């Protein structure tokens, strides 16, 4: 078999909390999606290096004011967290907790790439869960932060088992630890139960690191070992949180993530060896930037795409996700063929609380996105444009004054500055009926800068406002995204038509 070179990160974009399995010769991965809908993206690969987006677990998973972004707060930093992916008896399982709902969700399907998922809800949080199908037919979920618990599920893994295990499994270290062990990934291998965790000490190297606990009995006692404490030469950010997976030929690898500041949490793949039935991550205690594996080569498929909006049905490409649950009555790619129409609905005070903001990830080391909007049907008080979306966002777009005058503006999040709405950094009169908008992102060397531009013809670009110093903030808990938005501050019913979104990744 030909060799494939893995270069870390394998995806230079926000794919946090990866959970990976192998079925036959194909690898599947699920990751955290929080407030982005549809959610729990499913990706597949033949070699752990080239990944393709193939499905989502749900379009939406709750219908309430917070999930619909109608409560003035939303579910930023909440929603679906740290999903666990498993395959058992020809069924695929994804489970996760939602902090805002205080509930645990289990989804099942027999077709991970094209199928619909069946939803099951269990009351109570199971923080950073890992589902474990034991050899004796019993099913467990292992979870927690420092206090690690085990709860038994029914054989179908869709409800709590009456009279089943539900107890503290063990407690992890406290001394010198800022973030106690969490992010469980559980396996039954080699006659042992292996539980992988991250922890974050405030002594020593002061970075995330990987621990493994093992026992020959499900209830212990457990012994543990430090597996990895390395930053892969990047800003002392530890490579941690994830699990292990094998190849058909018996090689083993770990799939973890590393914080890369404003672009988000990027997945990395490390070789794994075994010594005395302990996994050994990396090489000589280090996470290698690049190495070869005996897996087939395959072409990468883009995670972030350009889109001319030339659809025959009102269904967007998988690469797009809405910010919170969309209002499907307020958008269309068929009303005006070849255009994305975004109509205003519920009034909003800010881009951060505007429904139907359509998003895609950004990618490192640098990338650019641009669009052109027909703005003739906007109403007084409407704001529309292109946003670099995170808590400290920056946006370029059009706003309509009370008298109908148009202004192109660059805006930032006023909430982050203690104000109620967005803050205009620069605002310039604009007379055209269409406007071209562009944002440039620079992530290399942790520069983390976004710059904003507009044009009347798509050829001559004018800088506006100021460069945005991007920061990964826990208020949103997500890497920066492109977002197409349109919202009303006075009355609903206006709309904009976007002719395209054109994306370029710059290496």
pLDDT digits (tens, 9 = 90+) for 154-176: 999 999 999 999 999 999 999 99
Q: Cα-flanking dihedrals φ and ψ of residue 96, to 5°?
A: -160, 165
Instruction: State how far the alpha carbon of 71 is from the alpha carbons of 137, 202, 461, in Å.
Output: 44, 37, 38
Mean pLDDT across 298-302: 87
- The answer to whether the CB of 6 falls within 8 A of the CB of 258 is no
Mean pLDDT across 243-270: 97
Place of tokens 């562009």: 438
Tell me the per-residue pLDDT of 436-460, one tens digit each, with 9 for 90 and over.
Answer: 999 999 999 889 999 999 999 999 9
Tell me the per-residue pLDDT of 64-116, one tens digit each, with 9 for 90 and over.
Answer: 999 999 999 999 999 999 999 999 999 999 999 999 999 999 999 999 999 99
Distance, in Å, from the CA atom of 55 to the CA atom of 181, rounded to the nearest integer, reads 30
Distance, in Å, from the CA atom of 95 to the CA atom of 81, rounded to the nearest integer, reads 9
| Residue (of 106, 114, 67, 62) closest to 88 by Cα position | 106
501: alpha, beta or left? (left if phi > 0; alpha if psi -120 to 50):
beta
Q: Counting beta carbons within 10 angstroms of the beta carbon of residue 188, is it exposed (0 to 12), middle (13 to 18) or buried (19 or more)?
A: middle
Q: What is the pLDDT of residue 426?
A: 98
Instruction: State how far the alpha carbon of 31 is from the alpha carbons of 119, 336, 484, in Å.
Output: 17, 34, 23
| Residue (of 361, 358, 350) closest to 333 by Cα position | 358
**DSSP for residue 475:** T
Distance, in Å, from the CA atom of 227 to the CA atom of 275, rounded to the nearest integer, reads 12
- Using only C-alpha atoms, the chain has a radius of gyration, in whole angstroms, of 23
Average pLDDT of the chain is 97
Q: HSE-up of 133 (CA within 13 Å, CB side)?
A: 16
Binning pLDDT at 50, 70 and 90, where does residue 1 land? low
State yes or no: pLDDT of 507 exceeds 90.
Answer: no
Which position among 14, 17, 422, 499 bears the catalytic label?
17
Q: What is the pLDDT of residue 392?
A: 96
What residues contact residue 398 under an 8 Å CB cut-off, 6+ apart? 373, 375, 378, 382, 383, 384, 385, 406, 407, 408, 409, 430, 435, 496
Residue 182 annotated in active site: yes
Do the domains spanning 4-293 and 321-506 agree at the CATH topology level?
Answer: no
| Residue (of 342, 356, 389) closest to 76 by Cα position | 389
Tell me the per-residue pLDDT of 22-52, one tens digit each, with 9 for 90 and over.
Answer: 999 999 999 999 999 999 999 999 999 999 9
Distance, in Å, from the CA atom of 279 to the CA atom of 272, rounded to the nearest integer, reads 6
Other CB atoms within a 10 A radius of the CB of residue 257 amount to 28
What does the DSSP assignment read for 220-266?
---EEEEEE---TTSTT--EEEEEEEE-TTS-EEEEEEEE-GGG-EE
All structural domains of the chain with their residue ranges: 4-293, 321-506
Give the CATH number of domain 4-293; options: 2.115.10.20, 3.20.20.10, 2.40.30.10, 3.40.630.30. 2.115.10.20
| H/E element, 160 | none
Binning pLDDT at 50, 70 and 90, where does residue 128 land? very high
What is the architecture, at CATH level 2, of domain 321-506?
Sandwich (2.60)
Which position among 14, 100, 182, 382 bears the catalytic label?
182
């Amino acid at each position: 078999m030909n060799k494939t070179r893995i270069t870390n990160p394998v995806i230079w974009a926000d794919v946090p909390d990866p959970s990976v399995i192998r079925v036959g010769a194909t690898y599947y991965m699920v990751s955290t999606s929080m407030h982005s809908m549809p959610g729990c993206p499913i990706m597949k690969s033949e070699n752990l290096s080239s990944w393709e987006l193939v499905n989502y677990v749900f379009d939406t998973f709750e219908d309430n004011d917070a999930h619909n972004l109608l409560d003035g707060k939303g579910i930023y930093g909440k929603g679906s967290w740290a999903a666990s992916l498993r395959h058992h008896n020809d069924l695929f399982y994804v489970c996760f907790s939602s902090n805002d709902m205080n509930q645990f969700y289990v989804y099942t399907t027999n077709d991970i790439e094209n199928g619909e998922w069946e939803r099951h809800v269990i009351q109570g949080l199971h923080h950073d869960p890992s589902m474990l199908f034991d050899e004796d037919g019993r099913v467990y979920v292992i979870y927690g932060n420092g206090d690690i618990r085990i709860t038994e599920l029914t054989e179908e893994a869709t409800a709590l088992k009456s009279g089943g295990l539900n107890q503290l499994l063990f407690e992890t270290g406290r001394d010198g630890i800022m973030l106690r062990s969490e992010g469980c990934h559980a396996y039954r291998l080699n006659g042992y139960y292996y539980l992988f965790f991250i922890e974050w000490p405030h002594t020593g190297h002061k970075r995330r690191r990987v621990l493994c606990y093992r026992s020959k009995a499900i209830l212990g006692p457990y012994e543990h070992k430090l597996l990895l404490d390395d930053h892969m030469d990047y800003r002392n950010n530890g490579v941690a949180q994830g699990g292990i997976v094998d190849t058909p030929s018996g090689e083993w690898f770990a799939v973890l993530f590393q914080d890369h500041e404003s672009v988000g949490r990027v997945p990395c793949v490390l070789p794994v060896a075994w010594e005395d039935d302990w996994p050994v991550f990396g090489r000589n205690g280090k996470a290698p930037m690049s190495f070869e594996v005996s897996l087939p080569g395959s072409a990468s498929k883009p995670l972030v795409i350009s889109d001319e909006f030339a659809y025959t049905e009102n269904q967007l490409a998988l690469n797009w996700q809405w910010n919170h649950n969309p209002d499907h009555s307020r958008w269309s790619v068929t009303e005006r063929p070849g255009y994305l129409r975004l109509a205003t609905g519920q009034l909003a005070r800010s881009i951060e609380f505007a429904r139907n903001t359509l998003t895609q990830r950004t990618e490192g080391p640098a990338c650019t996105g641009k669009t052109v909007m027909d703005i003739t049907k906007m109403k007084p008080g409407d704001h529309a444009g292109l946003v670099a979306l995170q808590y400290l966002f920056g946006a370029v777009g059009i706003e309509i004054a009370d008298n109908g005058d148009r202004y192109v503006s660059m805006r930032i999040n006023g909430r982050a500055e203690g104000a109620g709405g967005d803050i205009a950094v620069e605002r310039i009169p604009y007379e055209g009926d269409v406007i071209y908008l562009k944002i440039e992102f620079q992530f290399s060397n942790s520069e983390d800068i976004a710059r904003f531009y507009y044009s009347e013809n798509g050829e001559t670009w004018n800088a506006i406002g100021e460069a945005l110093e991007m920061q990964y903030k826990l208020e949103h808990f997500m890497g920066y995204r492109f977002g197409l938005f349109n919202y009303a501050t006075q009355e609903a019913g206006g709309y904009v038509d976007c002719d395209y979104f054109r994306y370029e990744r710059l290496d």
